[in-house]
Amino acid sequence: MNDVSRYHGEDEDDFRPSAARLVDSLRDTGYLPEAAFADVIDNSIAANATRVRVELSALYGEVRVVFLDNGDGMDEAGLRSAMRYGSPKRPDPKSLGKFGMGLKTASTAFCERLTVISLKDGVPSIRAWDMDTIRQLDKWVLETPSWSTYAEDRDALVEFAGAGRSGTMVIWEKVDRLVTPGTEQKVLGQLEILGDELCEELSAMFARFLDRNNKAHPDVAISVVGCDGSERHLQGWDPLCLELNSEGVKRVKPLPLKTVTVTRHDGSTSAFTVAGGILPPQNSLSAAEQKQVRYSLDNQGIYIYREGRLIWHEGWPPRMYKKEGKMTRLRVVLDFGHELDDVFSIDFRKSRIIISQTVRQELQKIVAPWRNHVLKEATASGGHDDGGDSAAARHLRANNAIGKHSESTKLASVKVEGGEATLQNKYNRQPVRVDGVHIYSETGVRVREEDSLEGNVLWAGALDDDGEVCVQLGRSHPYFARMYAACKDKPEALMAIDMLLWTCANAEIGIWSEQNKGIIRDFRMSISSGLNILCQELPDPSDD
């Protein structure tokens, strides 16, 4: 710690704001974690970095976050300037690191000590802001830490910079707002979740920089290293998901690019563009595709990009539309350049926008026909994407949902070879051969219909060649026709019943043994018999 006594002194004509008060105010600027991490990465990209790595770690409950890049780096004068709150403007107005505040405010929103090490042509420099020092002295004291404390970090930066011999390391220490304090295990668990969330958010924010086929923006490789040392390399995520389209097959319906010209505050004009896409019906997507598309109510709406970087995706702008299930398939992309920062009222966090009434009206003119088209399709399908009347389409939602959670619902380890299955479960610690269970060669289908099942039961457990549990449904059972007739226009209810019956089949496989297989069969027949009687209270299918 520096000798702070030499900084004391008063000047009755010095009316600069209290550093102690202001630094705490600047910590409360409303940053979300992903926005803060993105702000630091913005500076790396602005410094022409081609590689950025984020490291999350914790030791004895103390969290540490490190950012490394191989960008241009800074010499001593450049680093001092960059550490200044309100640092000089960058020469390129398109720069993602535009406002001179992000590095400091984004960092200290979550930590009490910010240290920056920069390497320029092989020469390292180091500076640090420490909130405790600033509060104690009530002065903006920019510290120069001892290299003995940060020697390992300096060496790590030199290694990361490589032959270029330039780069920057940003270190967050005394992290007090990123996770909730607790045991080391609790902290590590929170950091693991944070790592997952960062990978998802950053892959969207910097998608165009991560995409090497996008020639409009520089290529940047971004990775996140977790507490266990594993490194995840981010892949860009496009909300329109046009990668689902192939030659001659347009699963995502692209919507035409529109250009909107607006008048800026100084009277000059500039333009932004609007494009969009309509995703395929949810039940036409596999579980893997739904994950890839990030199919959810939260992800509908407008995605706004500034200079190629995603800055806002909170659904629909205020006073435009509300989120609704029927609109989940519609996504809209708005692109604008730095010259429209004042029109969209971009703040230094680059995570807030204000859509003026004029711009909102222009947007609605463009989006309204697209929205009406999606609503019309939803109405035509009874408010949902039924995908048709075939057995496969009828159970597709349930198939995808069950497949999505296959690992967490697994009750037995099953292997299928040569048309025979062996399993291990809590009743069979060693592999045993399973008999009396049908095995399907076609895989990936969890809910299957058959004309009838042995004993005219409603359902029976089955397997496929991958060893996954399936449920067979007997169409000849009286409950079957009445059940599906009652749920014809209620896809969620239909999915819920499919899930229930599949879970019964899964439980059968989970407890199957040579000793109790007869009990399982009797249990299934007893339930089917009871449903045969009770289903008389349901409407006859012919009445529908």
Instruction: Dump pLDDT digits (tens) for 352-407.
Output: 677 888 888 999 999 999 998 888 877 665 544 443 345 667 788 888 888 888 88
- The predicted pLDDT at position 160 comes to 97
Evaluate if residue 332 carries a pLDDT over 90.
yes
Note the CATH number of domain 16-233: 3.30.565
C-alpha to C-alpha distance for 460 and 437, rounded to whole angstroms: 8
Confidence bin at 349 (pLDDT 50/70/90): low
- The predicted pLDDT at position 544 comes to 42
SS3 265: coil
Residue 502 · residue 402 · CB < 8 Å? yes
* Average pLDDT, integer, range 176-189: 91
Mean pLDDT of the chain: 87
- How far is the CA of 450 from the CAs of 55, 402, 419, 473, 478, in angstroms? 53, 19, 19, 6, 14
Instruction: Dump pLDDT digits (tens) for 260-297.
Output: 999 888 889 999 999 999 998 877 787 788 889 998 88
- The predicted pLDDT at position 8 comes to 53
Confidence bin at 342 (pLDDT 50/70/90): confident
- The predicted pLDDT at position 326 comes to 82
- The predicted pLDDT at position 138 comes to 92
- How far is the CA of 457 from the CAs of 192, 482, 496, in angstroms? 46, 15, 19
Residue 364 · residue 371 · CB < 8 Å? no
Evaluate if residue 455 carries a pLDDT over 90.
no
Percent of the residues in the chain that have a pLDDT greater than 70, as a whole number? 90
Instruction: Dump pLDDT digits (tens) for 403-425.
Output: 888 888 999 999 998 888 999 99
Task: Pick 383 or 202 by higher pLDDT.
Answer: 202
Stretch among 141-155, 243-257, 426-440, 475-489 having the lowest mean pLDDT: 475-489
- The predicted pLDDT at position 351 comes to 61
Instruction: Answer left, alpha or beta for residue 382, where phi above 0 means left and psi between -120 and 50 means alpha.
Output: left
Q: What 3 state SS string does 147-208 have?
A: HHHHHHHHHHHHHHHHHHCCEEEEEEEEECCCCCCCCHHHHHHHHHHHHHHHHHHHHHHCHH
Helices and strands counted in the chain (H then E): 16, 19
- The predicted pLDDT at position 389 comes to 42
The two tokens of residue 518 are 């007869």
The structure tokens 């709406």 sit at: 301
- The predicted pLDDT at position 256 comes to 92
- Winning range, highest mean pLDDT, from 228-242, 363-377, 513-527: 228-242
pTM: 0.69
Task: Pick 492 or 67 by higher pLDDT.
Answer: 67
C-alpha to C-alpha distance for 432 and 429, rounded to whole angstroms: 9
Percent of the residues in the chain that have a pLDDT greater than 90, as a whole number? 53
Instruction: Dump pLDDT digits (tens) for 529-544.
Output: 999 889 888 877 654 4
Evaluate if residue 305 carries a pLDDT over 60.
yes
* Average pLDDT, integer, range 214-220: 91
All structural domains of the chain with their residue ranges: 16-233, 242-380, 391-543
Confidence bin at 76 (pLDDT 50/70/90): very high
- The predicted pLDDT at position 272 comes to 95
* Average pLDDT, integer, range 6-26: 71
DSSP labels for 25-37?
A: HHHTS---HHHHH
Residue 142 · residue 131 · CB < 8 Å? no
Task: Pick 346 or 104 by higher pLDDT.
Answer: 104
Q: What 3 state SS string does 270-308 have?
A: EEEEEEEEECCCHHHCCHHHHHHHCCCHHHCEEEEEECC
